[in-house]
Amino acid sequence: MSTFVASVFIGTSVDGFIARQDGDIDWLNEHGEKAGDTGYDAFLAGVDTIVLGRATFEKLLSFGPAAWTYGDRHVAVLSTTLPDDADPRVTVHRSMDALTETLTARGARHVYADGGQVVQSFLRAGLVGRITLTTVPVLIGTGIPLFGALVSDLSLTHESTQVLGGGLVQTVYTIER
Amino acid sequence: MSTFVASVFIGTSVDGFIARQDGDIDWLNEHGEKAGDTGYDAFLAGVDTIVLGRATFEKLLSFGPAAWTYGDRHVAVLSTTLPDDADPRVTVHRSMDALTETLTARGARHVYADGGQVVQSFLRAGLVGRITLTTVPVLIGTGIPLFGALVSDLSLTHESTQVLGGGLVQTVYTIER
């Protein structure tokens, strides 16, 4: 039994993409600037562990040191290809099982699962307790989808919805586990 | 120049599907029952023309005569395969250009574009002025997506968001043309 619950806090286009196919999120940032307080800082304050996929991790690095806002939280990267010693700030894990074992051993309590692949893996593993979904008012047509295949339907419980600046709509769902 | 503006009024899962791969929308109906007034009747009252794809049309027929709630409105089916005389209640059109020409000639004013393929064709043709998107709190993993590829980004303007019964979230967007 895992000690932790995972949350997703992510923005998508109305057609459900978290980035363009090449990882570009300019469209997201452009709209995000108008949002006002998205609640992200308050959310991050309650998180002790961040899990990223390799693509999200490398995208984050490309933004430079200032983009690393995780402080001294444990950052785990889920990847079959990233070298173990890729970055002193992260631990690297080869599978969901190995990751879950490590997080449990470390006593993780509140995990922030970020990036499409990681979110999908966590959803399929039944580890996600809360999704904060912020929808940006644009259709981009193609890109990297947030959601993917599931073993079976996953029922969500609607908790709240608020309209942020710039017409962003933020909805919080919880998932019973 | 077309005489009409098209609206989309549709429900999707949180992962953006309008139906399962086989067309099943039981999951949608199940949640829809808890929604209360979705505004659909008021929306339909302002519509003079309905455009469906063949798949949506045939799905609708499978529900029996009571599901045909369009009254004496003009119903057009966009299909390359459906026979011209398939149903006395509908006209059949082979392409978006042919359809647009007919609707304009008939003096259509407010068109309800329904079904994934038709919505995507109308969006790509720049004919959609309003989207009422009702999000049902479930992830179904795979299915028929509402949105598809676009020539370029399509910026939406957020008009309103309300939470319906059962945790459905209904957002209205407009598109400048």
Asked if the C-beta of B147 comes within 8 angstroms of chain A's C-beta atoms, the answer is yes
What is the share, in percent, of chain A residues with pLDDT greater than 90?
94
B25, B27, B30, B147: best to mutate for the A interface, most A CBs within 10 A: B147
pLDDT of residue A176: 87
pLDDT tens for A65-94 read 998 999 999 999 999 999 999 999 999 999
In whole angstroms, what is the distance from residue A16 CA to residue A143 CA?
9
pLDDT band at residue B29 using 50, 70 and 90 as cut-offs: very high
pLDDT of residue A3: 87
For residue A176, list chain B residues with Cβ-Cβ distance below 8 A.
Answer: none
Tell me the average pLDDT of chain A.
96
- Nearest-5° angle of CA A77, CA A80, CA A82? 60
B160, B169, B170, B176: best to mutate for the A interface, most A CBs within 10 A: B169
* Cβ contact, residue pair B155, A168, below 8 Å: no
pLDDT above 70 for A1? no
Closest residue to B149, CB basis, from A141, A154, A169: A141
pLDDT of residue B110: 98
Tell me the average pLDDT of chain B.
96
Chain A residue with minimum CA distance to B158:
A167
pLDDT of residue B1: 65
The pair of structure tokens assigned to A84 is 């173990």
pLDDT tens for A51-62 read 999 999 999 999
pLDDT of residue B162: 98
CA A158 to chain centroid, in Å, comes to 19
Beta strands in A85-143 (DSSP E): 90-93, 110-114, 128-136, 138-139
* Cβ contact, residue pair B153, A140, below 8 Å: yes
* Cβ contact, residue pair A171, B135, below 8 Å: yes
Count helices and strands (H / E) in chain B.
5, 12
pLDDT above 80 for B78? yes
Residue of B89, B86, B41, B40 lying closest to B65 (CA atoms): B89
pLDDT of residue B177: 72
* Cβ contact, residue pair A161, B154, below 8 Å: no
pLDDT above 70 for B92? yes
pLDDT of residue A84: 96
Global pTM value: 0.95
Asked if the C-beta of B152 comes within 8 angstroms of chain A's C-beta atoms, the answer is yes
pLDDT band at residue B165 using 50, 70 and 90 as cut-offs: very high
In whole angstroms, what is the distance from residue A150 CA to residue B139 CA?
8
8 A C-beta contact, residue B34 and residue B165: yes
Residue of A124, A175, A121 lying closest to B137 (CA atoms): A175
Whose structure tokens read 């029922």? A155
For residue A150, list chain B residues with Cβ-Cβ distance below 8 A.
Answer: 139-142
CA B22 to chain centroid, in Å, comes to 18
Closest residue to A137, CB basis, from B141, B157, B169: B157
In whole angstroms, what is the distance from residue A84 CA to residue A107 CA?
21
pLDDT of residue A125: 95
